[in-house]
Amino acid sequence: MRGYGGVQLIDEYGQGLPTRQVRASSSAPAVITVTPGGTVTSQLTWNPSAGEGEDPAGPCQPTPATLSVIPPDEVQTLAVTWQLGPVCQGGTIEQEPYR
């Protein structure tokens, strides 16, 4: 595998929430060999503070229930339970390459 996957925030009803994926340029993607049963990680960064046009007095966005992840060069999504609160600033998530 190499690079970045795709991410989508999903609400408790299975509907997509605003998600804006930004690929971090702080490190270059590298080819990774994943053995059967092996794991990889990708660091995600987001802001829990309201951004422009979001209500600073209330939740900036609905709180996701799930993060849908599509690994690089794959078509099947993986669902990860999200328990980290809302993702503000229009659902912006910065993603590091997989490692």
Dmax over CA atoms of the chain, in Å, equals: 47
**CA pseudo-torsion sign 13, 15, 19, 23:** positive
Q: For residue range 9-35, what is the model confidence (pLDDT) as tens digits?
A: 999 999 999 999 999 988 888 899 999
Tens digits of residue pLDDT in 63-88:
999 999 998 888 899 999 999 999 99
How do strand 20-23 and strand 92-95 relate by DSSP bridges? parallel
